[in-house]
Structure 1
């Protein structure tokens, strides 16, 4: 959904319409409109670069998400069904990701004693290493993006994002 919205507000016809309408309201409205749309652009560009970095580490976004859950999730030793319920992936995507991770030897399945239909999945040592490498790559990307921000700008950006999230939460409840 976020990708669809990002693409929607990235369309130059839609952006032009938004800017034109905001300009008729006030200079402050136009400034806010431009700021939010720039934030969307940066977020989308960051997401694209992060996906590229994950790919260089041998992972997809979904694979990274599954490994994160297996490595840091609670409780350990969950079945694929239990894990699948907690992740924002469709059943089919989740099954496909598990298959790819297993073929790549990043996860392993252990059948529950006496029950061939139920299994427990866990990250292998290779899976932990791939996850660690991808996490280090993601942090490096974040640090590169923020390299020219001083502490005041970083704090202001953080506060701004908090306030924007609060506004979105209010919109969801109305």
Structure 2
């Protein structure tokens, strides 16, 4: 559909909680296309609907060559296993990264675009991406959880 502007750190919409999606309709299908177009326009690996100004519980993750893209509606983490420090960045806070404690492994459940129940068991980068994007749905940014935030140094 369209590349949407990604809301930036400080925008109040990013701090608000999203609403559950009740059904797949034309509006939702348009939102999904906007999420995909907006993510692929940049270098990120995940995007949540609030980042493009839509307060609905929808996330899109694509680790590019590592896994198939994942679109998840009304996602929730149902189990967290272990903990580790994670380096994270965010399309809504460009130029910065932070150190965040995240689970080593998660089990995530939600609905597919076909409105089927789906569940993912994820480790490593995918687990971190799920946690990061699902946090966005509750108005939580990685900066709220970071032990340390720093500016990314530009390569000369």
TM-score interval, smaller chain:
under 0.3
* Higher percent of residues as strand: 2
Q: Which has the higher helix share?
A: 1
With the length of structure 2 as denominator, give the TM-score of the two structures: 0.23
